[in-house]
Amino acid sequence: MFVTYSCIGAVPLGCLVTTSATVTCIKAALDLWKQILPEGCFYDKNEGPDIFFTNDNEAERQSLKSSFPKSHLLICLSHILQASWTFLWDRKNAIKKEHRSLLFSKIKILLFSQTVEDLEMNYACALGDSLVKSYTVFVDYLKHIYTHRHDWSLMFRRHLLSRANDVSFFWESAMIVLKDPILSRTRTYNQLQIIDFLSRLDTYYERKLLDLANSRFDCVRLSRFLFIELPREAYTITQNSESEYEVHNDTKDTVYQVDITLGMCECRIGKSGAPCKHQLLVFRNFPVPVYDCILPST
């Protein structure tokens, strides 16, 4: 799915349906997509957009580089943060619960380094940390991230448009729209049915633009917590940083880490980015702006 930024979030530019995720297959789909692009696309730059934001998928990046050799391929910081969060909470990596937040902070410091010197210093400090050294699997993961620093580091993209420095989850919204309102989370459609349902995307985004023009967009943002009920148990909430909170269940004596910026929680529901009662508790008890607590992908 190709999307671009707009005032209503992500707007799709194209959707590729492939039989596999190999470089050859993706490249063939890209070539077909290029044939139907109108004249003057990409602001009269028919050679392609200036920037592609992607995840850390080598086959996808190779295909894009082959089809659009003059475009810059950047790895989205939000993807690295989400992937790192998932990595730290994966049981097979055997990282202790009390160490996950500390290790995650090492990655965030590395990602948001403002100069090359700061990046190198933060990387050296992270590798020299005794807690980091105790987890060989995390050291390898940190080295993998650092190897691709030219694709995600902020200081290496300053010569590009200023918009490229923004970190946002808007690019996820198109796939969420496709899976929820369009496909209704059903996996039994055949190829022809999928094409038919994809044609409904235009109508969906037309309605979204009309809602925004008529000042009816707040309900869309607030709908993230519409079906979440506040728990009846007693909770104690502690703010650890500007975006990180600890929600303690006084009845069950359990503690959950919540990151409002990521829109994620340590609980079973929230660790995948879904809305949960712990995020809602933070939102209700702290002066968190709606746009910080509710991701544009909703």
DSSP the chain: -EEEEETTEEEEEE----S--SHHHHHHHHHHHHHTPPTTHHHH-TT--SEEEE-S-HHHHHHHHHH-TTSEEEE-HHHHHHHHHHHHH-GGG---HHHHHHHHHHHHHHHT--SHHHHHHHHHHHHH-HHHHT-HHHHHHHHHHHHTHHHH-GGGGTTS-GGGG---SGGGHHHHHIIIIITTT-----HHHHHHHHTTHHHHHHHHHHHHHTT--HHHHHGGGTTPPPPSS-EEEEE-SSSEEEEEETTTTEEEEEETTTTEESSTTGGGT---HHHHHHHHHS---HHHHS-TT-
Average pLDDT over residues 186-196: 67
Please give the Cα distance from 194 to 86 (Å, whole number): 30
- Out of 142-156, 185-199, 258-272, give the one with best mean pLDDT: 142-156
Kindly tell me the sign of the dihedral angle through the C-alpha atoms of 261, 105, 238, 232: positive
Q: Does pLDDT of 224 surpass 70?
A: no
Going by pLDDT thresholds of 50, 70 and 90, the confidence category of residue 129 is very high
Average pLDDT over residues 100-124: 92
Q: Which pLDDT tens digit goes with each residue over 49-80?
A: 888 888 888 899 999 999 999 888 888 888 88
- Out of 14-28, 40-54, 196-210, 280-294, give the one with best mean pLDDT: 14-28
Going by pLDDT thresholds of 50, 70 and 90, the confidence category of residue 215 is low
- In one-letter notation, the amino acid at residue 248 is H
Q: Does pLDDT of 256 surpass 60?
A: yes
Q: Are 71 and 48 spatial neighbours (Cβ–Cβ below 8 Å)?
A: yes
Kindly tell me the sign of the dihedral angle through the C-alpha atoms of 252, 253, 254, 260: positive
Largest CA distance in the chain: 63
Q: Does pLDDT of 220 surpass 70?
A: no
Domain boundaries, the chain: 2-76+168-207, 78-149, 228-285
Question: Is the pLDDT higher at 231 or at 32?
Answer: 32
Q: Does pLDDT of 288 surpass 80?
A: no
Please give the Cα distance from 62 to 298 (Å, whole number): 30
Average pLDDT over residues 19-25: 89
- 71 contacts: CB under 8 Å, gap ≥ 6: 47, 48, 49, 50, 51, 52, 64, 65
**Dihedrals φ, ψ of 258, to 5°?**
-125, 130
What pTM was estimated for this model as a whole? 0.59
- 107 contacts: CB under 8 Å, gap ≥ 6: 80, 81, 84, 142, 145
Q: Are 276 and 269 spatial neighbours (Cβ–Cβ below 8 Å)?
A: yes
**Residue 256: exposure state from Cβ atoms within 10 A (0-12, 13-18, ≥19):** buried
Going by pLDDT thresholds of 50, 70 and 90, the confidence category of residue 161 is low
Average pLDDT over residues 14-39: 88
Task: Give the pLDDT of residue 195.
Answer: 72
